[in-house]
Structure 1
Amino acid sequence: MKKVVTFGEIMMRLSPPLNYRLTQISSLEITYGGGDANVAASLVRLGMPAAHAGCFPDNELGQAAAQSFQRLGVDMSHCVFKGDRLGLYFLEVGASLRASRIVYDRYNSAFANLQPEWFNWDEILKDASYLHWTGITPAISATAAQATAEAIQAARRLGITVSADVNYRRNLWQYGQRAQDVMPPLVAGCDMVVCTEGDAEDLFGIKAEPGAENSFVAMSEQLVQRFPQIKRIIATRRNTQSASHERIRGIAYIDGTFHETEDFDINPVVDRIGGGDSFISGFIYGSQKYSTVAEALTFATAASALKHTIHGDINLVTAAEVEHIMAGNTSGRLLR
C-alpha cells in the first residue's frame, strides 16, 4: 500500500483522570492529538503507511508532541520545528447526564504562524496515494489555509486522491476570513469528503429539499452538482443516549447510491474524541482492502465504535480487532 499524507496541527491534550471536573483536580493526564494526525496514526495501526506534515514549536514540548506520533509509526520527517508555542486543549470527560467539555488554548501557536513555503509538497507527497486534511486546518490562520490550498494543488497535479473532513468549527475562524469564502475552493479539489447536512448548509449554503425523504441524499446530490470532483460523501449518524451511551451508524453517497450500516451500540463510552477521525481512517483502509462499499463502510463504522472505548485521541486498534466486531462479536467477552 502507498502512504497516506495528513496535514494539520497536533496539540497537547490535558485531562482530569476518570470523570473528574477541571475544578476538582490537582493533576492532569497528558496525551497528544489532532484531527488530521489522528487519521495517520490510526491508519498505521491498521497496517497502512502514513506520514504527517505540520509545524511544532522548537522546544521540548514540540519534540514530545511529534515523538508521540513517531513512536506509533507515523513518518514525521516532513514536520517543521519553528516558533515558541504548542497548542493546548483541556478535556473534561462527562458521564451520564453531564456532557463532556473542551477548553481550547491554542492562540498564536507555532502551527498558526507557519509559512506555506516551509512545505515542499512535491517531496512530501512522493509515493503517496492520499492527501487528507480537515476543515480545522484552514480555520487556524490565513497561512495555514494557504498551505492547505498548495497541498491540494500539488496532490491534484500528481494524481493523488484528496479527502477531507470539512468539520466546520465556527469559533475557530478568528483571523478575518470567512469559512464560507475559504472552504469552497479547497473542497472543490477533493475526491472524497466527510460532510453532514449541517456542515453543508453552514459552509456552502446547501439545504436539503423540503420534505426530502433522505436529507443526506438530497444534500449529497447538491454537493456533487456544485463540486463535480467529489465522488464519495460519507458521514456517521449519532443517536446520543447520554454522555456514556452512543449509537452510531455509517452512511455514504457514492456514484448516486445511498449506503448505510446497522447501528453500533456503545455503552459505556470511554472517550469519544477522535471517533470521526477513526471513521475516515477506517474508510480509507477499508476501501483499499474490500471490494464493496458496504464492507468498507461497515469497517469504518466498527473502527469508530471501537475508538469510543479507548482513552486518548487515537484509535489504538488493529484491523483484526475491527473485523472481529464486524463479524458480530460485540459481547466484550474475555479473549484468551
Structure 2
Amino acid sequence: MRKKKVLAFGELLLRISPASHEDAAGKHPMLLYMGGAELNVATALAGWNVPVKYCTVLPDNFMSKHVINYLEYKGIYTSSIVYAGKRIGVYYLERGADLKGSVVYDREHSSFSEVTTGMIDWDKVLHDVEWFDFSAISPALNQNVADVCLEAVEAASRKGITISVDLNYRSRLWKYGKEPIEIMPKLVEHCDVVMGNIWAANTLLGTAIDEHIHDKGTREAYLEHARTTSIEVMEKFPKCKVVANTFRFDSKQNDVLYYTSLYKDGQQYNSPEWTCHGVKDRSGSGDCFMAGLVYGLYNQHEPQQVLEYATAAAFGKLQEVGDATDQEAFNISRTANELTENN
C-alpha cells in the first residue's frame, strides 16, 4: 500500500555567498544556493525515498519555473505551491561563518511573507498527507504568516495528521512587535514532535533554563537539562509525544563537538559524541537533523535508531557545501551504526 506524504511548509529562499578563492579567481565571485529550512527538510526526505511535497508561495515568473523544475528533479512534489506576489526571498551568508554570525536577510515583501489566511486551501493540500512539518522561522516573519501557520496546524490536527516543529530561533527575524512566547505556544499546542535545544525552548516556549549550565559545561549536565526541558515541554503541551534536543559547540579553531538526545515514552535516548576539525558549511545541519528525525519516526524505527540516523545526517551535513544535503540514506545508517558500535 502506498504511503501518504510528508508535507513541508515554509519559505523557499535563495542564498548568496562569496565564492572560495579558487572559484572567485574566475568570473564567479558569488555562489547561489537554493534553501530555506523546510525545503532543506523536504530535499533530504525526497533523497531518502520518503514521499514528500512542499508548500510555499512563489511569484509567477520565469525564475519560479526554474525553481519548480529543480524541486521536481529532486523528487519533491510541487502541486501545493501557490503563485502570488513578486519576489523570492533572499539571504546572504558569509563563507565559512556561523549562520547566526554573518547573515543578512532580504525577505521583506517576498511572496511568502505576504501570504494571508484563506490563500491556501488546506483541505486540498493535506488530502494525501500523514505528516506536516514546519519551523519557528515562518511565524517569525510577521503576524500574517504566523496566522497562516496556525491555520495550517489547526487543519492538520483536525485530520489527525502528525505535526512536527523545529524551534529554530532567529532573533533578527522577530521584528514585528511580538515576542516568540506570544506566538509559538499556540502553534506547539498542535505538535506531536518538537525539535530544538534547551535555549530555544526557553525563548520560544518559556521553559525553565539553568543560567549556570555553561559553568557546569559537562555532557552529563547538558543531557540532564535536555531531559528536564523535554518533560516540561510535554507537560505544557500534552499532544507532544517526542522531544529532541541538539548540542553543538564550535571552537575558534573550527573544531566541532556535537551530540543529541531524544525523549519518548518516558525514556531518554542519547547519541554518541561526534567531533571534527574543519567545517565546510554550517548552514542546514539542524534542518538535516529534523529531516532525519522525521525519516525515522515516519518509518517507525526504534527511538535509538531514529536518533542515531538523525545525528549522523546532521553531522555529515557540516561537510557539505550548500543548504540541503545530498547524503545517501544507506551511508548515513552505516556511519551511525559504525560509530555506535565503536562507542
TM-score normalised per structure 2: 0.88
Residue pairs, 1:181-260, within 5 angstroms = 181-208=182-209, 213=221, 214-242=224-252, 244-260=254-270
Structure 1 Cα separation of the partners of residues 14 and 169 of structure 2:
21
Structure 2 Cα separation of the partners of residues 243 and 306 of structure 1:
19
Residues 205 and 12 (structure 1 numbering): CA distance in 2 closer, same or farther, change over 3 Å?
Answer: same
Give the drift of 1:243.
6.7
State whether residues 130 and 162 of structure 1, in contact with CA within 8 Å, keep that contact through their aligned partners in structure 2.
yes
Match of 2:327 in 1: 317
Give the drift of 1:200.
1.9
State whether residues 272 and 339 of structure 2, in contact with CA within 8 Å, keep that contact through their aligned partners in structure 1.
no
Residues 65 and 225 (structure 1 numbering): CA distance in 2 closer, same or farther, change over 3 Å?
Answer: same
Give the drift of 1:218.
1.5
Structure 2: which amino acid aligns with 1:294? Q
Q: 2:271 aligns with which of 261, 282, 287?
A: 261
Structure 1: which amino acid aligns with 2:315? A
State whether residues 164 and 194 of structure 1, in contact with CA within 8 Å, keep that contact through their aligned partners in structure 2.
yes
Residue pairs, 1:288-299, within 5 angstroms = 288-289=298-299, 291-299=301-309
Q: What are the superposed Cα offsets for residues 212-260 of structure 1, whole Å, 9 maximum, x if unpaired? A: 9511111222211111111111021112234743221121111221111
User: Percent same amino acid at aligned positions?
Assistant: 31
Q: What are the superposed Cα offsets for residues 298-330 of structure 1, whole Å, 9 maximum, x if unpaired? A: 000001111111111111112111122123279
Residues 55 and 265 (structure 1 numbering): CA distance in 2 closer, same or farther, change over 3 Å?
Answer: same
Residue pairs, 1:42-53, within 5 angstroms = 42-53=44-55
Residue pairs, 1:1-336, within 5 angstroms = 1-18=3-20, 27-94=29-96, 101-208=102-209, 213=221, 214-242=224-252, 244-289=254-299, 291-328=301-338
State whether residues 153 and 190 of structure 2, in contact with CA within 8 Å, keep that contact through their aligned partners in structure 1.
yes
Structure 2 Cα separation of the partners of residues 111 and 174 of structure 1:
17
Moved more, 167-176 or 315-324: 167-176
Give the drift of 1:210.
8.2
State whether residues 279 and 300 of structure 1, in contact with CA within 8 Å, keep that contact through their aligned partners in structure 2.
yes
Give the drift of 1:143.
1.8
Structure 1 Cα separation of the partners of residues 210 and 91 of structure 2:
38
Give the drift of 1:60.
2.5
Q: Which runs of 5+ in 2 are unaligned?
A: 214-220
Structure 2 Cα separation of the partners of residues 210 and 56 of structure 1:
42
Secondary structure in 2 aligned to 1:112? helix
Q: What are the superposed Cα offsets for residues 142-187 of structure 1, whole Å, 9 maximum, x if unpaired? A: 2211111111011111111000002122221222333211111001
Residues 72 and 172 (structure 1 numbering): CA distance in 2 closer, same or farther, change over 3 Å?
Answer: same
Residues 283 and 204 (structure 1 numbering): CA distance in 2 closer, same or farther, change over 3 Å?
Answer: closer
State whether residues 266 and 305 of structure 1, in contact with CA within 8 Å, keep that contact through their aligned partners in structure 2.
no
Q: Which runs of 5+ in 1 are unaligned?
A: 331-336
TM-score normalised per structure 1: 0.90
Give the length in aligned residue pairs: 326
Structure 2 Cα separation of the partners of residues 215 and 302 of structure 1:
22
Structure 2 Cα separation of the partners of residues 152 and 324 of structure 1:
35
Secondary structure in 2 aligned to 1:258? strand
Structure 2 Cα separation of the partners of residues 66 and 247 of structure 1:
36
Structure 2 Cα separation of the partners of residues 26 and 53 of structure 1:
31
Give the drift of 1:88.
0.8
Structure 2 Cα separation of the partners of residues 90 and 15 of structure 1:
6
